[in-house]
Structure 1
Amino acid sequence: MSNEHDLVELNVTGMHCNNCALSVHKLLEKKGLQDIHVDFANEEVKFSGAEDSSLPTIIKDIEGLGFKVYEQEEAPQEKFYDKIENRFYFSLIFTIPLFSHMFLPFHWLHNPYIQLALCLPVFILGAIHFGKSAFNSLKNGMPNMDVLIFIGFTSAFIYSLVGTAFELGANYMFYETTAVIITLVLLGNLFEKRSVSQTTSAIKDLLKYQQVKATRIKGETHEVIDSRTIQSGDILLVNTGDKIPADGDIIWGDASVNESLITGESIPVEKTKYDSVIGGTLVEHGTIKISATKVGKHSVLSQIIEIMKRAQSSKPPIQRLGDKVAGVFVPVVVSISALTFILAYFAFNIELGDSIMRAIAVLVISCPCAMGLATPTAVMVGLGRGAKKGVLIKGGATVEEMANLKYMVFDKTGTLTTGDFNIKAMDVIDISKEDAASIIVGLESYSNHPIAKSLVKELQSQVVKKFIFTEVKEIKGLGIKAVDNDGNTYEIGSNKIINSGEDDFDIYLKRNNNLLVKISIEDQLKPDAKELIDILKEQKITPILLSGDRKEKCESVAKKLGIEVVYAEKLPQEKLDIIDSYKEQGTTAMVGDGINDAPALTTADVGISLGNASQVAIQSAKVVLLNNDLKSVITLLKVGKHTLITIKQNLFWAFFYNVFAIPLAALGFLGPMLAALAMAFSDVVVIGNSLRLKIKKLN
C-alpha cells in the first residue's frame, strides 16, 4: 500500500472478473474519490482525493464487498478453493452427469433425488461465489451483475426443489439448468481472467526486466545482490550478456548496449566512460562498471511502468458511457425478467415452468460483462502495442483524442529538424578559407551549443594550424569572445556582434573589430518529416510550425515539408497563446523535444514529447516517443485510430448482443442454459477482438 502525491494504491485480492472490479469502482465513486482505477487482473485499486483519516473506512468498505486488502509484502497465496479455475472444475464434475440425463438412457439419472444430490454441491458453490458478491453489492446500494446470475439459478433450484418435495413430476425438474448456469458463468469468468491477464502482458514483460541480479563492488569484494536492494551511489559490475540492473553513469570500461526495451531501436548503442545507461537494457558486448544514480521508483523503467499502469486506468469518454449504461442495467433487467414471467404466465397462459425458465433466461443472458470489458481490454492491448514500438501513451483518453485530432503543432529545431547544422554558405574577407576554418574550430570547440558542435564537425578537416587562445568567454545569447597569444581579440556569434541590421547570415567572426567571416547555416530535416506531414494532410489534420527561430529559417523548412501555417520568432508565452487559440477550434497535439517545450506540451490537448525519456518529458507530455524519431508519430496515429475502431466494434457487439438476445430469451427461443453459454461467448468475442489488435496490420 502506498500513498504518494495523494494517490492511494491498495492491493486487493478476491476480484475474479470485471463485475467485481465494477463493484469496487462504484463504491469508491460513491465516496467522491477521483482518478479511480480498479484492475482485477493485477489485483490493484488506485484512487486519489482521500483523507488519511478516511482510509481505514474505505478499506473496511472494500472488504465489506467480500474482497481482502493486503500489504504488498504479505501478498496472500490464493487458497485452493478460492481459485476460479478450481471452482469451475469442481462444478463441472457434477454438472456433466447431471446434464447427460437428457441424452443418456440410464434410468437412475432421471431420479429427482439423484439429480438433487448432484446439483446441491454446485448450487452451494454458486451461492457462495455469486451470492456473497450479489448480497454485498445490494447492501451497498450498487447492484452488480452477480445479482442477475444469483436470482436466475436460485429460482431454477427452488422451483425444482418444490417439484421434488411435492412429487410434481418431470416438468418441475430444472436441476441441470441451475448447475449449467453456474458452471458456464464460472467458465466465462475464467476466460475473462486469463484474457485480461494477456492484455496486461506489456506491463508484466517490463516488470521482468526489473527483476535481475546485480554484482556490487565493495573494495576488493564482489557480491551478488537483488537489483531491488541497490542504493544510489553503489558501484556495479556489468558483463557481456547481463542486463544493466539500475540507471547509472559508466565510470570504467565501454560496451555496446541494446536499448530496444526503451527506444524500440535494435541497433546497439556504443557507450563509454561518463555516458549514462538505463536499467533493464542489455550489454551485448563489453564490460563496464557503473555508479548507480536513479534507483527504485525514480528509474526510467519504473516510471515507464507507472505510466503504463496509470494509462490503462484512465478511461476514455467512450467507456464512461458504457459504465453509465451498466449502472442502470441491473434494475432494468430484473424488471424485464419479472414482466416476462407475468406476461407469459398470466397473459399468454404458458405453463408455470416454461414461464419461469423464460424469466431466468432473460436474467442470465443480460449480464453485460462484455460491455464492461469492451473498452479496457482494447485500451490495454493498444497501449501495449504502442509501448513495444517505443510509443508510451499515458492514458485511454489520449487514444480517443488522437483519433479526433484537428491540428498538430510542431516545434522546429530537434523536432522536424535533426538539430545538426550544415554550412549553406561561407564568405571570407581578407583571410584564407583554411585560416578561417582553423579560427572557427578553435573558438567553437569551447562551446556545447548544437550549432558550435556542428561547425566544429564540418570544418575540422580544413584546419591547417592550431590557434592558441589565452582567454575564452562564452556569453549566452551572443557568442564567444577570446584573446590569442599575440593579444588579438576575437568575437564569433550572431548578427548582434556586428551591430548592423544585416540579417542574411547566421554567424559572424570578427578579429580586432574587423569582420572576417560570414556564415549561413541550414538545419537538416529529419528523414521521416515529409512522410509524416503528407500523412497528416491525408487524414485532414492541419500541420502547423511554431518556433522561436528566425522567420526565413522557419519558412524555408515549412516550404520543403509542405506546411502552410507558420509562426516564427515566438516567445514561450506567445507559443502558449497560439496553442490555446487552436484548442478552441479543435483537438490539438503539440510535438516537441521535451525539455524546452514542456509548458507547450502540457497546454496542448495531447503533448507528444520526442527525445530521450527525460524527467521533464515524462512528466509534461501525454505521449513520450522513446525512439526520438517522427516515424513514432505515425505509429501513434495508427495505434490511436485502430484502438478506437476496436473499442467501437466491441461496444457494438456488446450492445447488439444484449438488444438482440433479451427479446429472444423473453419469447422462449433461448433457454437458460443456452443463455449462459451465449453470455460466456459474448465475453470471448469482445476479448478476442481486443487481442486481435496485438497482431492486426495497422494501416
Structure 2
Amino acid sequence: MKLSNMWKFWISLILAIPMLLQMIMMPFHWMMPAYNWVAFITTTIIMLVAAAPYWKSAWAAFKHHNANMNTLVAVGTSVAYFYSLFAMVTGREVYFESAALVTVFVLLGDALEERMHNSASNALGKLLNLQVKEAEVLSDGQYIKVPLEKVQVGDLIRVRPGEKVPVDGVVTEGATNINESMVTGESMPVTKKAGDAVIGSTINADGMIIFRATKVGKDTALAQIVELVKKAQTSHAPIQNLTDKLSGIFVPAVLIAAISTYVIWFVFLGAPAVQAMLFAVSVIVIACPCALGLATPTALMVGTGRSAKMGVLIKNGQALEEVNMVKTVVFDKTGTITAGKPVVTDVIGDQTKVLQVAASLEESSEHPLANAVMAKVSDAKVAYPKARDFKNIEGKGVKAVVNGEKASIGSDKLLEDYQISNQMKTKMAQLQNDAKTVVLVGLSGKIIGLVAIQDTPKKTAAKAIAELRSRGLKTVMLTGDNQRVAQAIGKQVGIDQVIAGVLPNEKADHVKALQQSGKVAFVGDGINDAPALTVADVGIAMGSGTDIAIESGEIILIQNDLLGVVRALDISKKTFNRIKLNLFWAFIYNLIGIPISAGILVGIGLQLSPELAGLAMAFSSVSVVTSSLMLNKTKIAGDHDAQQVAA
C-alpha cells in the first residue's frame, strides 16, 4: 500500500521524537541511554520510508545530467546521514537528527500541498457524488426505478417535486422550477417547460415533469464540467516553464554555494570539518526550492476551482495567463450580446385591440417575429378570436378575416393601401431609426397600430461592457447584421467599436487585424464563431452555444452571462498576480536564508542548524500554499459567494 505524504510525515515525526527530546535536554547535559543507536535506527527507518522518493527522484535527474528540487533534499540528508554513520563508528558526535528532521519538515510542506490538491479534487468529486442512484424510467407503459447506470439516451424519465434530475435531457411534459445553483452558481430557480433543457443532479423544486434523456454518464454537463476543471488544475501556465528553467539553474548554483561554504569555513577560516559540513548542509536544505515549485500550481489550482464555482470554466493554465494580457474584447452580436430571440419592445395604438388582431393573424405562423408577438400576447393575457380565410403573402405578411373584418399584419408593402395617420408614420420612423423591426396591424382598411420587435441586449450586457471599459479594455462588436441595427445595439450597450456586415468566413480575419494592437479575446456562441474563437488569443464560448463553439473556446461561460467575461478577467489577473507574489517571496526567502545558513551572521550569535533550516524551508512552502488559498477570499466582480456550490 502506498502511503500518502501526510501519513509519511506523521510516521517520521513520531520516529523523530527521541531526537527532539535529546535536542531539548542537551542544554541540561542530559544524554539519552544508547542515544546513538536509537538515532541510527529511527533515522534509518525515516530514510527508507520517507526520504527514499527524494533520493530516487534525484538519482533519475542525475542520470539525465539534470538536477531538481529533490536533489537538494537528497544531498543534504545523505551528507548528514552518512557522516553520522562514520562518526558513530569512529566515536565522534553524530548528527542523525539533522537528516531525520530535515526529512520530516520537507514532508510537512509536501503533505500540505497534497492535502490542498486533494481538497480541490474532492470538492469537484462531491458534485458527482450528488448524483442520484436511481431514475424513474418509462417501461411498458409504467414508470419503474432503475439504477442510474442503466439509463439510456432516449428514455422517458419522471421527476417528482423535491427530487433530483438524474441525467441531462429535454422536458416533454409538465412545468416546474429547477434549482441549478450546483452547476451554474445562480441561486434563483429556473422555470422549465416542454422543450426546455434540464441538467442532471439539479433539484426539481415544485412541479412534476417528464423529460427525455439526451446525455448520460460521462457525457452529462456535470461530468464534463468536473473533467474540464480537473484538466485545468493539472495543466501548466507558461510562467511555470520559466519557473522550471530557473529551478534547473538554481539547484546547481546552490550545490556550488554549499561546496564554497564548506571550503571557506574549513580552509580559509580554519573551522572544524564537522562545523563546516553543517554550514554546507544548512545551505543545501534551506535553499530547497519547494516554495518555488509550489508557487504556480497551487495558485492555478485554486484560481481555476474558484472560477468554476462562479460559472466560468477555464480549460487550461495558458488561457488563464493569456486573459491577463488581453487588450481588446470582441463580441459576436446575436446570442452573445443579444438574447438571440426577438421580443416585442413597443405596441403603438390601443394595446389590447392591436394585440387581439395581431394574435388572431399570427397564431398559426412559425415565423420568429410571429413567435415574438404571441409571447407578448401571452404575457399580456389578451384573449383573441379565431381568424378565417388565412392567407400568407410570402415576404410581406398575413391576411385573414377577424370577427368579420378584413385584417392584415406585416410590412408597409403589404399594407400600402391602408390609411395611416401622420402621427403613426412619425412613430414608425422613430422606431425604425432605433433599428427595430416594425410590423403594421391593419383592420378594415386602416392601420390601427404598430408592433415594434427587436433582438434586445441581454440584461447584463451593458454592465459587463462598462466593467471591461473601466478596466481599460477596448470593446468591439463583430456582426453580420446591417450597420444600422448593429450601431443601435452597440449604442445601447456602450460598445467602443462596431464592425457590421461581416461574413462568417471574415470574422477570423477581423480578429487577426485587431491583434496588431495587442492580445484579443473573442466571445461567441455559434458555428460561424468557431474560426474566430480559435484564432483569438483567448476564445470565450457561451455555454448555450453550439458544440463546435464550446470546443473551440478556451473559456466557457456556463450561465451565458457576459459578466462571466469580467469574472474571467478578474480571477485571471488576481491568480497571475498571486503567482508572481509567490515567486517573489520564494526568491527573497532564498536570498535572505542562504547567507544566514552559510554562517554570515554567526559572529552575532545567529546560526541555523540543518534541522532549523529544514523547518524554515517547510514554513516557506506553507506560506506559499496559504497565499494561494487566499485567492478563495479575494473579491471578484459579480461574486456569487453566497450562491456557490457547497463543497
Q: TM-score range by the shorter chain?
A: 0.7 to 0.9
Matched, 1:696 2:627: no
Within a 5 Å distance, the mapping from 1:173-212 to structure 2 comes to 173-210=94-131, 212=133
Matched, 1:144 2:68: yes
Q: Deviation of residue 122 (structure 1)? A: 2.4
Q: CA 1:507–1:571 in structure 2 vs 1: closer, same or farther (change >3 Å)?
A: farther
| 1:421 aligns with one of 334, 343, 350 | 343
Q: In structure 2, what residue type is equivalent to 1:671?
A: S
Matched, 1:468 2:392: no
> In 1, distance between residues paired with 2:46 and 2:177?
60
Q: CA 1:435–1:197 in structure 2 vs 1: closer, same or farther (change >3 Å)?
A: same
Matched, 1:364 2:285: yes
Within a 5 Å distance, the mapping from 1:490-509 to structure 2 comes to 492=410, 506-507=437-438
Q: In the alignment, which residue of structure 1 is the partner of 2:91?
A: 167
Matched, 1:133 2:31: no
Q: In the alignment, which residue of structure 1 is the partner of 2:40?
A: 116
> In 2, distance between residues paired with 1:448 and 1:162?
91
SS of aligned partner of 1:670 = coil
| 2:168 aligns with one of 228, 247, 263 | 247
Q: CA 1:493–1:590 in structure 2 vs 1: closer, same or farther (change >3 Å)?
A: farther
Q: In structure 2, what residue type is equivalent to 1:297?
A: K
Q: In the alignment, which residue of structure 2 is the partner of 1:12?
A: none
Q: In structure 1, what residue type is equivalent to 2:216?
A: V
> In 2, distance between residues paired with 1:569 and 1:353?
80
Q: In structure 1, what residue type is equivalent to 2:410?
A: I
> In 1, distance between residues paired with 2:124 and 2:496?
41
Query: Percent identity, aligned pairs only?
Result: 35
> In 1, distance between residues paired with 2:545 and 2:164?
19
| 2:625 aligns with one of 679, 687, 698 | 687
Q: In the alignment, which residue of structure 2 is the partner of 1:636?
A: 568
| 1:219 aligns with one of 140, 146, 167 | 140
Tell me if the contact between 1:340 and 1:355 (Cα under 8 Å) persists in the aligned partners.
Answer: yes
Q: In the alignment, which residue of structure 2 is the partner of 1:107?
A: 31
| 1:592 aligns with one of 524, 542, 554 | 524
Tell me if the contact between 2:177 and 2:205 (Cα under 8 Å) persists in the aligned partners.
Answer: yes
Bigger drift between 563-572 and 346-355 goes to 563-572
Q: CA 1:600–1:496 in structure 2 vs 1: closer, same or farther (change >3 Å)?
A: farther
Matched, 1:671 2:593: no
Q: Deviation of residue 687 (structure 1)? A: 0.9
> In 2, distance between residues paired with 1:437 and 1:315?
58
Tell me if the contact between 2:342 and 2:453 (Cα under 8 Å) persists in the aligned partners.
Answer: no
Tell me if the contact between 1:101 and 1:109 (Cα under 8 Å) persists in the aligned partners.
Answer: no
> In 2, distance between residues paired with 1:286 and 1:423?
31
Q: In structure 1, what residue type is equivalent to 2:608?
A: L
Within a 5 Å distance, the mapping from 1:257-336 to structure 2 comes to 257-336=178-257
SS of aligned partner of 2:170 = strand
SS of aligned partner of 1:286 = coil
Q: Deviation of residue 494 (structure 1)? A: 9.1
Within a 5 Å distance, the mapping from 1:327-346 to structure 2 comes to 327-346=248-267
Q: Deviation of residue 150 (structure 1)? A: 1.6
Q: In the alignment, which residue of structure 2 is the partner of 1:452?
A: 370
Q: Deviation of residue 225 (structure 1)? A: 4.4
Tell me if the contact between 2:299 and 2:629 (Cα under 8 Å) persists in the aligned partners.
Answer: yes
Q: Deviation of residue 224 (structure 1)? A: 4.7
Tell me if the contact between 2:330 and 2:520 (Cα under 8 Å) persists in the aligned partners.
Answer: yes
| 1:578 aligns with one of 510, 533, 548 | 510
Q: In the alignment, which residue of structure 2 is the partner of 1:601?
A: 533
> In 1, distance between residues paired with 2:189 and 2:285?
55
Q: In structure 1, what residue type is equivalent to 2:85?
A: L
Q: CA 1:342–1:572 in structure 2 vs 1: closer, same or farther (change >3 Å)?
A: same
SS of aligned partner of 1:102 = helix
> In 2, distance between residues paired with 1:452 and 1:362?
78
Q: CA 1:197–1:437 in structure 2 vs 1: closer, same or farther (change >3 Å)?
A: same
Matched, 1:155 2:79: yes
Bigger drift between 279-288 and 226-235 goes to 226-235
SS of aligned partner of 2:153 = coil
SS of aligned partner of 1:573 = helix
Q: In the alignment, which residue of structure 1 is the partner of 2:420?
A: none
Tell me if the contact between 1:506 and 1:518 (Cα under 8 Å) persists in the aligned partners.
Answer: no
Tell me if the contact between 1:497 and 1:508 (Cα under 8 Å) persists in the aligned partners.
Answer: no
Tell me if the contact between 2:72 and 2:285 (Cα under 8 Å) persists in the aligned partners.
Answer: yes
Q: Deviation of residue 254 (structure 1)? A: 3.7
Tell me if the contact between 1:438 and 1:466 (Cα under 8 Å) persists in the aligned partners.
Answer: no
Within a 5 Å distance, the mapping from 1:477-556 to structure 2 comes to 478=395, 492=410, 506-507=437-438, 520-556=452-488
Once the two structures are superposed, residues 416-459 of structure 1 have per-residue CA deviations (whole angstroms, 9 ceiling, x without a partner) of 334443445759xxxx9877655543454445555432233335
Task: Give the length in aligned residue pairs.
Answer: 606
Tell me if the contact between 1:137 and 1:143 (Cα under 8 Å) persists in the aligned partners.
Answer: yes
SS of aligned partner of 1:566 = strand
Tell me if the contact between 1:423 and 1:455 (Cα under 8 Å) persists in the aligned partners.
Answer: no
> In 2, distance between residues paired with 1:288 and 1:463?
27
Tell me if the contact between 2:185 and 2:309 (Cα under 8 Å) persists in the aligned partners.
Answer: yes
TM-score by length of 1: 0.78
> In 2, distance between residues paired with 1:448 and 1:373?
58
Q: In the alignment, which residue of structure 2 is the partner of 1:620?
A: 552
Q: Deviation of residue 690 (structure 1)? A: 0.9
SS of aligned partner of 1:248 = strand
Q: In structure 2, what residue type is equivalent to 1:466?
A: K
> In 2, distance between residues paired with 1:202 and 1:637?
23
Q: CA 1:581–1:328 in structure 2 vs 1: closer, same or farther (change >3 Å)?
A: same
> In 1, distance between residues paired with 2:260 and 2:560?
61
Tell me if the contact between 1:617 and 1:624 (Cα under 8 Å) persists in the aligned partners.
Answer: no
Q: Deviation of residue 97 (structure 1)? A: 1.1
> In 2, distance between residues paired with 1:496 and 1:598?
39
Q: In the alignment, which residue of structure 2 is the partner of 1:65?
A: none
> In 2, distance between residues paired with 1:354 and 1:684?
29
Tell me if the contact between 2:396 and 2:414 (Cα under 8 Å) persists in the aligned partners.
Answer: no
After superposition, the CA RMSD in angstroms is 3.4
> In 1, distance between residues paired with 2:365 and 2:294?
56
> In 1, distance between residues paired with 2:113 and 2:566?
32
SS of aligned partner of 1:544 = strand
Q: In structure 1, what residue type is equivalent to 2:125?
A: K
Q: In structure 2, what residue type is equivalent to 1:684?
A: V
> In 2, distance between residues paired with 1:94 and 1:320?
38
Tell me if the contact between 1:98 and 1:109 (Cα under 8 Å) persists in the aligned partners.
Answer: no
> In 1, distance between residues paired with 2:371 and 2:159?
32
Q: CA 1:247–1:482 in structure 2 vs 1: closer, same or farther (change >3 Å)?
A: farther
Q: Deviation of residue 321 (structure 1)? A: 1.0
Q: CA 1:329–1:242 in structure 2 vs 1: closer, same or farther (change >3 Å)?
A: farther
Q: Deviation of residue 352 (structure 1)? A: 0.4
Q: Deviation of residue 472 (structure 1)? A: 4.9
Structure 2: segments with no counterpart, 5+ residues: 417-428, 601-606, 638-647
Once the two structures are superposed, residues 127-153 of structure 1 have per-residue CA deviations (whole angstroms, 9 ceiling, x without a partner) of 534323333333354443222212211
Tell me if the contact between 2:178 and 2:205 (Cα under 8 Å) persists in the aligned partners.
Answer: yes
Bigger drift between 439-448 and 649-658 goes to 439-448
> In 1, distance between residues paired with 2:133 and 2:544?
24
Tell me if the contact between 2:283 and 2:598 (Cα under 8 Å) persists in the aligned partners.
Answer: yes
Tell me if the contact between 1:410 and 1:544 (Cα under 8 Å) persists in the aligned partners.
Answer: yes
Tell me if the contact between 1:200 and 1:381 (Cα under 8 Å) persists in the aligned partners.
Answer: no
Q: Deviation of residue 666 (structure 1)? A: 2.1
> In 2, distance between residues paired with 1:320 and 1:202?
28
Q: Deviation of residue 407 (structure 1)? A: 1.0
The structure, 1 or 2, with the larger RCO (C-alpha pairs under 8 Å, 6+ apart) is 2
Tell me if the contact between 2:232 and 2:314 (Cα under 8 Å) persists in the aligned partners.
Answer: yes
Structure 1: segments with no counterpart, 5+ residues: 1-77
> In 1, distance between residues paired with 2:211 and 2:351?
44
